[in-house]
Amino acid sequence: MGPLAFSILRLLNDGEIRTIDHLAQSLKVSPNRILKTFDEIDQCGVVLKKIPDLGIQCPEPLNWLDANEIISNLPQTILPFHFIILDSIDSTNRFLLDQVAADFKCLHGNPVIITELQTQGRGRLGRRWYSGLGDSLTFSLFWRFNCSVRFLSGLSLAIGVALIRALTHFAIKDLTLKWPNDVLFHSRKLAGILIELSRNIRSGSAVVIGIGLNIQLSNLAKENIDQAFVDLFAITGRVIDRNKILAVLLSELSAVLIDFNHFGFSYFRNEWVRYHAYEGQLITITLPDDTIVTGVVDGVEFDGSLTLVSETGEKKSYSSGELNLR
Ligand code: BTN
């Protein structure tokens, strides 16, 4: 969706009915271009209401991202974040990784890239992450660690803990984690985490942490998602301001990241196991080479790998793969 579509939506966000001519004059383009851009908006899953003889209206205003709103909801004591809010981008992780690769020294504070629309969201294991315009929180955060990369195993599980802690602030109960880090509500996926390593770091290590959280998914996004999913609207029956949720998420994330830097995953291990949806259950893991292993879940190791007990009583840990309930 191009800049004109975003300008139209921002104008219509007050819920007023506007004629095509009014929109065209305000945005200094031809009425024809406005009409063509309506198709673009439609293809993004945003529903505009045509009112005969009167004009067009946006019946459900979008909850736009706003850096000032996010900052005003952050605790004063928190480390400085540098917010970049984009209307549309293929992937916030891709964008931030490229920024780091291009000029690491130019990054101020802890950069956070957030987008209203992500068109090629990346998921774990090479999958796609689908979301529509304004219907999710899709963002990436850059973070540096003093330790080397090999001590970062388990980081993605610790981030899952931060997400559960943050969502608990909104009185959302019954959230669980599915190894390594899917956030579930009643076995349906609410949020996903994708951590990618930054490569050109001289000392210590650094990562881009990408998070997708379903807020109130559009029908279009729902049609594309190929697994059991849920959004916050379905859980709570209300639309929670994305700016507020992001502030709370960032606050919990920075607390977890600081502790992780000092103590590693072991600090979060017990809490993680408490949240695990499949602790003590018979599951399968599909390993990266497509081998399928079956066993009963027996916690996680200090590096975040999942421990399974086989039928013969043998214990073995796995550091990557796709977990499924038997
Ligand atoms: C998963 O497969 O569960 C991980 C999904 C991660 C999606 C987020 S959305 C923001 C960030 N940018 C991306 O391209 N992916 C992550």
Same domain? For 129 and 249 the reply is yes
The two three-digit tokens of residue 228, written as one number: 């059991």
Q: pLDDT-derived band of residue 106, with 50, 70 and 90 as boundaries? A: low
Residue 202: per-residue pLDDT: 73
Whose alpha carbon is nearest atom 11 of ligand 1? 210
Residue 281: per-residue pLDDT: 96
* Residue among 99, 129, 195 to mutate when testing ligand 1 (max atoms within 8 A of CB): 129
What CATH number has the domain bearing residue 296? 2.30.30.100
CB-based contacts of 104, cutoff 8 Å, min separation 6: 198, 200, 201
* Of the candidate ranges 78-87, 153-162, 256-265, the one whose mean pLDDT is the lowest: 78-87
Q: pLDDT-derived band of residue 17, with 50, 70 and 90 as boundaries? A: very high
pLDDT tens for 202-225 read: 778 899 999 999 999 998 899 999
* Residue among 194, 209, 320 to mutate when testing ligand 1 (max atoms within 8 A of CB): 194
Residue 28: per-residue pLDDT: 96
Inside any domain, residue 62: no
Q: pLDDT-derived band of residue 169, with 50, 70 and 90 as boundaries? A: very high
Same domain? For 264 and 309 the reply is no
Ligand 1: residues with CB < 6 A are 91-93, 118, 121-124, 127, 129, 138-140, 182, 192-194, 210-212
Residue 139: per-residue pLDDT: 98
pLDDT of 133 over the 70 cut? yes
* Domain carrying residue 106: 67-273
CA atoms within 13 A of residue 61's CA, in its CB half-sphere: 12
Inside any domain, residue 228: yes
DSSP category for residue 229: B
Q: pLDDT-derived band of residue 167, with 50, 70 and 90 as boundaries? A: very high
* Residue among 84, 86, 93, 225 to mutate when testing ligand 1 (max atoms within 8 A of CB): 93
Residue 104: per-residue pLDDT: 65
Ligand 1 atom with the shortest distance to the CA of 120: 14
CB-based contacts of 274, cutoff 8 Å, min separation 6: none
Inside any domain, residue 217: yes
Residue 105: per-residue pLDDT: 64
Q: pLDDT-derived band of residue 117, with 50, 70 and 90 as boundaries? A: very high
Are residues 140 and 96 in contact, defined by beta-carbon separation less than 8 angstroms? Answer: yes
Measured in Å, residue 227 CA sits from the centre of ligand 1 at 15
Q: Burial letters for 87-125: b for 16+ Cβ neighbours within 10 Å, e otherwise?
A: bbbebbbbbbbebbeeeeeebeebbbbbbbbbeebbebe
Same domain? For 115 and 9 the reply is no
Same domain? For 262 and 138 the reply is yes
What CATH number has the domain bearing residue 74? 3.30.930.10
Measured in Å, residue 208 CA sits from the centre of ligand 1 at 11
CA 253 to chain centre: 12
pTM: 0.94
What CATH number has the domain bearing residue 27? 1.10.10.10
What is the C-alpha to C-alpha distance for residues 2 and 27, in angstroms, rounded to an integer? 14
Same domain? For 175 and 290 the reply is no
pLDDT mean across residues, the chain: 93
Q: pLDDT-derived band of residue 79, with 50, 70 and 90 as boundaries? A: confident
The two three-digit tokens of residue 300, written as one number: 């996680």
pLDDT tens for 263-303 read: 999 999 999 999 999 999 999 999 999 999 999 999 999 99
Q: pLDDT-derived band of residue 199, with 50, 70 and 90 as boundaries? A: confident
Measured in Å, residue 80 CA sits from the centre of ligand 1 at 23
Same domain? For 21 and 116 the reply is no
pLDDT of 201 over the 80 cut? no
